Amino acid sequence: MALHMEPADTERTQLKTPLYQWHLDHNGTMAEFGSYLLPLWYTNGAKAEHLAVLSTAGLFDTSHMSFIILQGPASFDLLQNFFSRDLSKWGKNKDTPLPVGRAVYGVFLNSEGCLLDDAIVFRVAQNTYFICVNAGKGPLITNHLRSQQGQYTLTDLSGALCKIDLQGPHSAKILATILDDPKAIFSAFPFFSCKGTLAPHFTTEIAVATRSGVPLLLSRSGYTGEFGFELFTEADQGQVLWEEIFAAGQSFGLMPCGLAARDSLRTGAGLPLAGHDIGSWPFVNNPWLFSLPQDSSTGKFSKDFVGAQALLRPEASFTYPFAGYDLRKIDRDLATVYNLTGEKLGRVLTCVTDMAIGRVDGRLVSINSPGLPEGFAPRGLCCGFLLTSSKLSYGERVIVQDERRKFEVEIVETIRPDCSAVLPLNQFIRV
């Protein structure tokens, strides 16, 4: 058979996270991603790992991400000029600045309106922002920001931190067993908020540490679409923190998870992978336009920022999520999209199998959807994103085809329904 995947060549000079040896010791099947050697999956396999995040909890090493600290009085203006979100208009009514302890997802664009990278920006103090970007993108984004002068400092902490994602319904219960004073931490802790410290760089109003004394920044966020947390700590504390969570999680069904499950979970949740689903084409007509500073009352942007003008030009490129009718995938690199009469529409950006979804009477459901038929056990559906040159409608069927396979998929607004990420914390733990 043709394996189309070779085991990672561990002799080459690839980057290793602080948890690299742990992955090897736990039989992680390693592969290179963003120059880092990371596990694709462990002995339970990607399917079990994917399902664990919906039913118990999963633990991910995401230390390959890049981290930037922006400090100083000009920080706000710098982000207003370069980042796509309007940090002066936050909240349901978009009438307050992003508060300390809150975070937003957005993008950095070039002047042509094309993606440099996507990012989560955390406001961690009055004039301090913690920015999490993709693997290897630290220098790109810091150089981009430095093109504007002002009273600020930029610190690229890539490689200096350990980032651990704990995702799934039991995440809070697991953390409660290892955190010092979990009650204080978990009270008033909504989605996209953070607490804790990244000493010596900053401390938010509430310190967060494990009972064993590991200080950390704890954020109620993640990239799986499910309830959970992202934890940041200094690289040399990473293994202790990971082992503590892993040990505490054993009685909650916690599973270590690799890149494959991360990819299938984020796709099912409708989240883009930078470089695949958003990239070197204008950031328009896609499912992630909430990243732009749209003012719903005027229909215009509420601020100007780098790339904004280019986005106003008419552009015939459209990105849609899709879901198929069985679990078979096509090769995204070779796949073309056609309409039902055989006319070429575009190409496939991502195609994976979300193992937690299926269809009931044609309708998409997940294993966490309410009112499922008795004994419902889906085998998963192929899903992903596609880029077309013409506008499509939700519910419309198109054909995806690679060298080997050809099948119909449905253009959908939501791939995996009933994701838990945004649910209130008190649905998962009594606080």
Amino acid letter for position 416 = R
Minimum CB separation from another protein for residue 54, in Å? 16
Give the x-and-dash track for 333-372 against another protein (CB under 8 A): --------------------x-x-----------------
What the block records as the tokens of 373 is: 């038929």
Q: Kindly tell me which of 182 and 268 has the beta carbon lying closer to another protein.
A: 268
- CB-count burial class (<10 Å; 0-12, 13-18, 19+) for 325: middle
- Identify the residue among 2, 95, 200, 342 touching another protein (CB under 8 A): 2
| 5 is a contact residue toward another protein (CB under 8 A) | yes
404 near another protein (CB under 8 A): yes
Binding mask 44-83 for another protein (x = CB under 8 A): -xxxx-----------------------------------
Q: How far is the CB of 58 from another protein (least distance, A)?
A: 15
> Which of 197, 219, 221, 264 is in the footprint of another protein by CB under 8 A?
264
**Residue 161: strand pairing partners:** 234
What is the rounded distance in angstroms from the CA atom of residue 125 to the CA atom of residue 155?
Answer: 15
Please state, in angstroms and rounded to a whole number, the distance separating the CA atoms of residues 216 and 75: 23
CB 54 within 8 A of CB 32: no
379 belongs to the binding site for another protein (CB under 8 A): yes
SS3 state of residue 371: coil
Among 137, 170, 329, 416, binds another protein (CB under 8 A): 329
Instruction: Write the CB contacts of 382 (distance below 8 Å, at least 6 apart in sequence).
Output: 323, 324, 326, 327, 328, 329, 330, 351, 352, 353, 409
| DSSP state letter for 331 | -
Reading the block at residue 426, the tokens are 């008190």
Give least dist CB 402 to another protein, A. Answer: 8
What is the C-alpha end-to-end distance of the chain, expressed in Å?
53
CB of 260 to another protein, least distance (A): 5
List of residues contacting another protein (CB under 8 A): 1-5, 7, 27, 29-30, 40-41, 45-48, 260, 264, 327-331, 353, 355, 379-380, 404-405
